[in-house]
Structure 1
Amino acid sequence: MQNEVWPQVAGAIGLFVLLTTVITVTVWQLSATSRAKVLAGREDAYRELATSAVTAQDGATRQIAELKEQLAAMDAKLRSIEHVLKDVE
């Protein structure tokens, strides 16, 4: 009778180890998948942020160029006014 119990105990322990391993691997893979999704979302957010930063920088660069052109035009007008004033003196 004693010899018949050990195979059942070994089978029960083996089944417990198998179920524990399957559950552990399943939970591990689900958590890895969710982490990957979170990281992908974070990368998309960083990509959008970088794109908007580049767009804003391009807009600022264009505005600076326009302001430089306006400043150059005003400088030319001021020089012509100074020339006229010198001629009037």
Structure 2
Amino acid sequence: MNDGLLIFLATAGLLSIILVVVIWQLAVTWRAKAALVRESEYRRLGERAVANDEETRRRLDGISSQLADALTRLAAIEKSLTVID
């Protein structure tokens, strides 16, 4: 009877160790997948930030050219007003 109890305890211990290792590996896999998703989200956020920056630069270039044109016209108007006076 002592041998049967020893075999049962050894089997239970071995199954417990196997169960702990399987649970541990599942947790590691879950964390790795979560890290990949998080990195993917950060990458997408970075890409959106770069696209927004490029759009802002494009708009700023357009506004700068419009402002330069307005300043040129204003200078011409001021010149013609000084000629009239």
Q: TM-score, normalised by structure 2?
A: 0.92
Q: How many residues align?
A: 85
How do 1:1-89 and structure 2 match up within 5 A?
A: 5-89=1-85
Percent identity among equivalent residues?
A: 29
CA RMSD in angstroms, aligned pairs only: 1.0
Q: Deviations over 1:26-73 (max 9, x none)?
A: 111111111111111111011101100111011101111111111011
> What is the CA–CA distance in structure 2 between the aligned matches of 1:83 and 1:18, rounded to whole Å?
96
Q: TM-score, normalised by structure 1?
A: 0.88
Runs of 4+ aligned structure 1 residues displaced above 6 Å come to: none
Larger Rg: 1
Gaps of 5+ in 1: none
